[in-house]
Structure 1
Amino acid sequence: MSEASAMLEREHDLAVFREALDALADGSGGCVFVYGAPGMGKSLLLASLRREARARGLRVLAARGSAMESSYAFGVVRQILARLFHRRSGQPLAGLAPAAARPTGERLPRSAGIDDGTGGCLELDGLYRLLAEESRLEPVVLAIDDLHWADESSLRFLNYLQPRLDHLPVLIATCLRPPEPGTRTHLLDRLLNSEKARVVRPAPLSPRAAGTLLSALLAGPPDPDFARACHRATAGNPLLLRELALAVTAEGLAPTDGNSHRVLGIGAAAVSRRVGDRLDGLPAASVRLAESIAVLDGRALATDVARLAGLTSPEAGRGAALLEEGHLIRALRREGEGMRYEYVHPLVQAAVYDRIDPARRTRYHARAAELFTGSHEGAESAAAHLLRIPATGDPETIATLWRAARDAWGRSSPEETLTYLRRCLAEPMEREQRRSVLLSAASARQLIDVGSAAAYLEEALALTRDVRETARLRWVLGGVLLLSQQAERAHEVWCQALSVLPADEIDLRGRLQASLINIPLVMPGRPDLLAYAGELGDPPEHDSLGARGLACVRAAVEAFDGNPHAVSRLDSCDVLVHETDPRPPEEFSVPEASTESWQVCSWLVLLMADDHRIVDRLAESVDIARRLRAPRALSAAHCFRGLARLWRGELAEARKDLVTALDTVELANVDVGRPFIVAYLAETLMETGDLGAAEAALDAAGCPSPPPPGGQLSFLLHARARWLRLVGRFDEALEAALLAGERWAAHGGRNPAGVPWQSEAALSLRALGRHDEARRYAAEELALAVRWGAPRALGRALRVSGIVAPEGAAIGRLEESVTVLRGSAAHLELAYSLVELGTSQRERGQADGLRHLDEGLRWAVRCGAGALATRARRELASAGSRKRPAGGPQKLNPSEYRSCALAAQGMTNREIAHRLSLTVKTVEGHLSSSYRKLDITGRRELAAVLSGTLGTLPAPRGSGHA
């Protein structure tokens, strides 16, 4: 069949590919997905793209997912990188799955803890950097067939790569079929539903095109009724049409109208029938070879296929030639690899595999596992076959599955790890061995779905005899239960542990006490446990995890209440609760979910106190989470670093951190912490003036009405209250603010540094004309802020108090707000207070109004607070100010400003790109645009222009600072 016949009615689909290749040649990457049922010609379309890309001189890196390899960590990615590494060094990449290459010592790249704001965890950032480096040499096409069978690690990488393609010359081109019922599809759904994705859906062939294809396959045109019958029998599926034509030819059936009634019977099982007919006519050796290729999933090395089939190399070669002649398989030889065999289509492979007797199929898989155990292919190759056979009680099976799980764990692949451990648990084992596997399964499961780890822990607990170990596992189990919002069950488990704990276990006692106190900070309704925190007294001097955790949660209880003693309590535990795990990455560790909550407690205390230590704490926490390859901890660290940057007025950096936190949560399929992230992201978007995006973020949080009591939703409710006020829905805004205050109080919260609901309510009340109530709420918040004493909360409370105050008291309060905030790190709050002060002074005819408005505008521009900057400009225009030239730096957007500021300090474009996590091309675009806006010719003039406008404002910080 000619290529033209194969591409019938695919002109539109091919045009989409050509457009993507044109954009790639111009430096813009993209994603094209060919989506459709088996046999619709998806692979042919992808092959056409590969040919055209190579004809254009582009680099093509090809891979294919397969059912057998879906459990291999980074299996598809390693196929791609094997070719890339071979091009670089002439050597294959280490640790690859059978479909890739043999080890030589070079490992998959890691990000080495680089903190560039992209959230590179689980090797994703290292892989991205490697691909980005290669694409700078020449554009790259990643051509991936059968993506629906790709392993989850590779899908996470593609999800990580996809949003970074705007300025990266990489095209992702893939084929996939609709998912089967019961399969996990969230990563595929994210790829397909991205705004960057273009989805090509090959349509069934029309009756006319089907007739044309049949003419080519049957060596002559069929009669019209016969052609229509073939079209109906196959629903226009090109592969089925081809198989039907081959079956018609094999049976010697003339394509006449008189034979139309026989078409349906032939076409119903055309593929399986043709496969059976071909195999039945072949020697036994060829049949064994065909079955071995199907068992090894179609892309196995020829040498491995021969070993599994029990054939010599010459015998295997003769058998493969017969299978090729029968249009069942094709032989492939790629750079750096030996000869491989693959079936011409997955449906053909499935037909061969399905016709193998089940008992013989089990023997094939058992033999394959034996062949790969201890070989260069690695434990995962053997384990993939052990997954297909029932439990045997063989100790070697358990050992192989354990090694495969450990290897997958070392490559940050908890899904694959858990697959091997589940299969391991199907085998009979001694008590201690089973307990060890259960704890390892809990380690993997808590990275995927923290709540479902409890079942493994409870079974391990039932197998534990030691009193101290029992108490420790109950502490771990309680942390998992609390994070899955089973607070009462967690309380019960922790109290049981305390009741039997030996008196000399000071560290574990502190851990359990800290966990109990943490309950009301996560789930409301237990004021008795807040009181319990005050009844404990000062803990004994003991430098342990338990002592540090206890200090963190007690400090949080005090900080939520607004007690300034909270910060000094943290001074006794200056070491991070999360410390670097000294064990090698392939070793498992039992999940200690409680410590993450303790860490968040310490962050919130320091954040609410405007303590400078939080900058280093959060930066170190991001690095530690990367090294531990813990997505939940990484998302939390990025989330609260985003909050720190939001409160400090670094909105571009805050948004980057918060988007990374949300991406990490979604890629890991972990919902813990989502309300925090969405609340802070919505606040950041509101500050930039993007109310539509803020609304979308809040809606995506899916917060029901009324909201449930758990999950610290007071932050989310406060963000919604503010959005409702900004869009003029003041009654709803007031209701949301009061509900936020109710939820905050339920967690023991009174401190406005955490949730300033009273000032938010006051602003809505003022808009509704209820001035006395507004002043009462503002006064309550001001009194609490004075008690707490941190500049950001106090400056805000003073500003809102000034806004709602009677006319004679307004300016004094606003001036006091500016005084409190000046010199602090709360630059955004300072910008607001300056604009409010300047507006009030201008309205009263005071000369200082313009000066304060001008300074407030400069701070707003510096922070990237677009809405506030617009208001300040409007106030200046109302006053008739002509101080700012039209082409001044206030016209720069925040990204342009940061690039210019770093360029003015003498950084090269590449240094700026690394500092701000941008491409060099993007930095060049920022600078070129800025030169036009500033009416200057180059970077030598930047320093003078920026310094002349910003006066004494501090130098801008890069993305590496919080």
Structure 2
Amino acid sequence: MVLIGRGQDIDRIHAAFHSVRSTGRSRTVLVEASAGCGKTEVLGELVRHVESLGLTVLHTTAIAEEKDTPLSVIRSLVNGSPFPDELVRRFHTMGDAAARRISDDGRDAARRDAAWYELMRTFCTEVRTLARREPVVVAVDDVHHGDADSLRQLLHLARHCCSVPVLLAFTRPLVGEPVGSGFHAELLRQPNLDRVPLARLDVRGITAFLAELGHADVSADTAERCFEISGGNPLLLRALLSDTWPDSTGLRPSGGPGSSQAPPAGPAVTPRAGQEYGRAVVACLDRSGEKVREVAAGLAVLGGSFSHNLLSRLLDISAAELTENLQALRGAGIVSGTSFQHPAAKRAVLDSLEPSHRLELHRRSAELLHASGAPPALAAEHLRSAGQADGAWAVGVLRQAAEQALLEDVAGRAVSYLELAHSASEDPLLRAEIKIRLGSVARRISVADAERHVDDALRVLRTGRVDPSDAGGLGELLLAHGRLEQARTLLDQGRRPVDGKRARADDGHDPLARRGAWQVGGRSVRPDPPGPRPPADRAGVLARLGGPSSGREARHIAGTEGLLEITQLTDTTFDFVVDAIRTLLALGAVRRALHWCDTFLGEAAVRDAPGWEAAFAAVRAEGALHGGDLAEAERDANRCLALLPDRHRSAFEAAAVARLVTVHVARGDHAKAARLLSRPVADSLPDTVHWLHYLRARGLYCLATRQYDAALRDFREVGRVAVRWGTDRPALLPWRTDTAEVLLRLGDRDQGHRMATEQLALVQHGPPRVRGISLRLQGLAAERGARVALLNRAAVELNRADDPLELCRTLFDLADAYRQARQARQAAGVLRRARLLAKSCGLETPRDRVGAHGTPEVPVQRVVAEPPGRRSGWEHLSESERRVAGLAAGGHTNREISGRLHITMSTVEQHLTRVYRKLNINGREELISEFRAGVQV
């Protein structure tokens, strides 16, 4: 199999040998081929042929590692020769003595030369003596690896054995490292030399090769593809076939390339370059010599940034050497032009490099590319591969390349460049700038990573190594992440004096005050983000969420959509786009908001920005809740969570959790809601606007499970923080009506009515959805005589808003109000409509409705503050365990329990673990059930 296509070459060598036998005169055959192309096999065929005739063959292989060992080749030849043992021992003794004289710093040159002459004369004499009896073949494989002294002996033999039947047969690469002592040049001068170059297989040769394996019916396309991958190199071809038919073990050489068991035949074959192919590539390089390996390594490292001059400088070799070794790679079928024949060949070369050497080549390549004026991305990619960068030039290159990568929507690469630039920089201010940029860029991929970079930048600022006035971008970034209080503090510290005095919050120079008109949904939108800017009139569009209804509201919606149509999604416009969509939600344009969410979700997915995609999915879940579609809200919230990494918790994750909790509470699936609320949260959550949505969702859960005290605490905390942060927007966070509903269930009708009326006054000219919610709670808190009218007004507003969830709740309350007013027919009709609407929405029929039994005035007994002792197992709890368990069952998080009881989070967790074990329960959800089982309501 290995000699397929080599028939003519073998015939030439046999002809040279038969000429020696017939004429009695010597000849020299030089078999030249690239590594893996069969020169060893061809020489072996000659040796086997001569030995089969019973003639003498002196055969050896020169080894690269013994190139500096004197007479290593000649000693190997005589070891296997028919020379008398005494002569062999004498030859070794003389060789050792000569080697010692060589190492004597040349101080005894005359004796050394005499020893060499004696060795050459002895070796030549013995070969001539053998040849006079019968023809002799002296065969040396890989002669280019021979030591200089042995090569001198072989040349002496070629010159002085012309009149005896001796065939000298050598193999060497077509191109590659020059052999020592001018051996090759001197050999070419011999008049009796036959050069036998072995070409690589062409497509026809590969077809014959495959046919020999039992693939006579293989398609021409398969043979062509085999040629493209292997380059016609028989060694690479055999390895390729081993990878293609991994179960045909006979294709893998065992003890030597050769015998094979034919793999299953079939024309539909797709050659696959795998592990065996990679090993064969490395084997070819090892056989080709050190210089060829170095050139292959340099070519693999440089990749697309290759140039002859660059590679020559990288390897510190001359242009002539480079050209010769590139020819060797092309001759072996490993390289085509200046590219590897197949990506698997490049991978094999890179994998074979010593890691430190590989990294050094990448680092040096980056330096050379930068010095030659190459695009920053080329040098940056080598720095990234090296995993290290040094010097201001490297930091500059990495930052430029990061911005270019962002333009090409390769955010992951941009982040890796910036992280490397940060580690390479020694300037604290520059490091802070890079961290701030990372906090913005990383949002495309992972909100958690972005938050981590923001935290790092804040820590640097707190060390005092960077002045707050020099970290202006950090304040804007904190706003983007919803960390409003930290942003205000930083922006206050960084404000410059205006006209000799510090700027005041109300003089137009306060950053947050100036953005006050832009605050939508708990965050402030920066009015002039760098990069592509929305039109200047957008402040007029987003300045108010309310205003007179109808025409003006419609103009606000149209203006906001107009801005979205012309705004390109970038790192600097992303927050504007998100807030503009949430503005549409606040204005009641739910369908349009969902449309724009879908538009930007698709764009984020196409641009491989999972962080952006998660943000738009969260907004879409909120929009679906506003539109009353629980199924869509659940799907979008789960999509958001799926796009967030598991390895780090982010504050933003709580936004998606809040949407899911709201969905499950609406469906009456309190167990799922409890499991979600039991998930660990990010430590930074209470410092962000996402905390408000999380608190509200938890309050809704506590309200649904009749934990009224806990619900009231959460809703009031939402209001307190929202007012303090300046994010009190009832259209998106109606905490007043949430509080009113709890107060009504606790029997405090006056306070409930006050809260509902206060919210209604704030949204009197706002979107119909929040007006409808406010009217519903105002109606529930009103006197019976006014209740029907207010609830009817609420139903009209919610019908306008196209919110079936809130409309359904209002209709149930309206049916109760009609029944209390003794209008049975109207009550039945409204109740029937409410039930149909609840079924279509997947909404649980509201239980314990405030007016269901005509008892909104009757106080509902509050949940007791401590768990009853008479329940089985509670009596085994210690006092501290009782306190922790009571707070946990009341809806408090571990962090809140820690703060109230002045103990560590770890202590809280240990207490809860013991409580679960003593009560024989599995978690917080069962603890709540156990607690409620003993509570009188």
Answer with 1 or 2: which has the greater Rg: 2
- TM class, shorter-length: 0.3 to 0.5
Higher RCO, 1 vs 2 (CA within 8 Å, ≥6 residues apart): 1
Q: TM-score, normalised by structure 1?
A: 0.44
Q: TM-score, normalised by structure 2?
A: 0.45
